[in-house]
Amino acid sequence: MTSVRFALNHMSAPSLPIETFFATAKSLGIDAVEIRNDLDGNAILDGTSATEIRAAAARHGVTIISINALQRFNEWNETRAKEAADLIGYARDCGAKALVLVPKNDGTGREDGVRQANLRAALKALKPMLDAAGIIGLVEPLGFEICSLRSKTEAADAIEQMGAQSTFRLVHDTFHHHLAGETPIFADLTGLVHISGVSDPAVSVSDMGDPHRVLVDERDRLDNVGQIRALLEAGYVGPLSFEPFAPDVHALKDPASALKASMNYLTARL
């Protein structure tokens, strides 16, 4: 049996204060966590300093594997450069290993030639910033039809052509992989796997959105088990990080029990 390592993205329980979130992860036997910069009233947006986050992680014995995320990273401009510098600095100071890079997802920059050029320009600008801080950039293609970077193949090509595999890795998100309809998995270039399921039997694939993303169980329509098994068999050894966005998951009074049930389901089938 392959050993499965789980991680916890703060989106799995976004109402928990950071200390409680770290403690919840440890209570589940998880020592790898992702923190976010898009949760109102919570670290990082509430002004909690990077040094406080580092100290809290140390107290609870967890490793911060990423900050999620630099948004619209492939729309490189002065604003993005400042956002990147701030987040990379925060990642370095809080002890995070990586920064997730999310492409713009508003229907712009999708033209052939344009999207590849925008991707390369952003990676070229980010590389020295990330290298100086010792932070990995985790490129996360999104499967939505309006996204400016749907294809992991295009992302992998850009990284490999730059010879930048030591700076950049891919995020394999099981939801986005299913939506993109892309077959290659790039296990050797994958730095992180995000897992969530869709169990609503009525929603079409093209209409699936973040609110449909629940914890993985036997009703899952995305073949999380098959995707994860393929990654593990191809040599992926990193964590599987829970990232559900569904409001009903976020409203759970006991998120730890629901997460434990999903961990048990996946472990039994892998």
CA distance 206 to 189: 27
Question: Do 39 and 48 form a contact (C-beta atoms < 8 A)?
Answer: no
**147: closest CA among 113, 206, 115, 105?**
105
Mean pLDDT, rounded, for 207-221: 97
Rounded to an integer, the average pLDDT of 219-230 is 98
- Indicate whether 198 belongs to any domain: yes
Among residues 130, 66, 69, 126, which one has the least CA distance to residue 95?
66
pLDDT (mean) for 95-102? 98
User: Does 94 map to a domain?
Assistant: yes
Q: Are 240 and 6 in contact (CB under 8 A)?
A: yes
- State pLDDT tens for residues 50-80: 999 999 999 999 999 999 999 999 999 999 9
Q: What is the mean pLDDT of the chain?
A: 97
Cα distance between residue 230 and residue 250, in whole Å? 29
Domain membership flag for residue 128 = yes
Here the tokens at position 188 are 């050797």
Query: Quick check: 192 pLDDT over 90?
Result: yes
- What are the tokens at 128? 């020295």
1 pLDDT higher than 70? no
In angstroms, what is the C-alpha Rg of the chain? 17
Nearest 10 degrees: Cα torsion 188, 13, 33, 36: 80
| pLDDT tens track for 78-94 | 999 999 999 999 999 99
pLDDT average, residue stretch 14-30: 97
pLDDT value, residue 86: 97
Asked if the structure places residue 1 within a domain, the reply is no
* Dihedrals phi, psi of 34, to nearest 5 degrees: -115, 130
Mean pLDDT of 28-43: 96
CB 130 within 8 A of CB 99: yes
Alpha-carbon dihedral sign for residues 142, 239, 122, 154 = negative
At residue 2, the pLDDT reads 60
**What is the domain extent for residue 60?**
6-269
Q: Answer yes or no: is pLDDT of 189 > 70.
A: yes
Within-domain flag for 67:
yes
Mean pLDDT of the 13-24 span? 97
Domain count, the chain: 1
Give CA–CA dist 40/24, Å, rounded: 20
- Mean pLDDT, to the nearest integer, of 102-107? 97
Residue 3: its pLDDT value, please? 77
Span 126-138, average pLDDT: 98
In a domain, 99, yes or no: yes
Q: Left if phi > 0, otherwise alpha if psi is -120 to 50, otherwise beta: which for 137? A: beta
pLDDT digit string (tens) for 236-263?
A: 999 999 999 999 999 999 999 999 999 9
Domain assignment present for residue 127? The answer is yes
Phi, psi of 132 (to 5 degrees): -65, -30
- The answer to whether residue 219 scores a pLDDT higher than 90 is yes
Q: Is residue 172 over pLDDT 80?
A: yes
Residue 224 lies in a domain: yes
Element (H, E) at 145: none
Residue bearing tokens 């995000």: 194
Is the pLDDT confidence value at 128 over 90? yes
Q: What is the CATH number for 121?
A: 3.20.20.150
SS3 101: strand
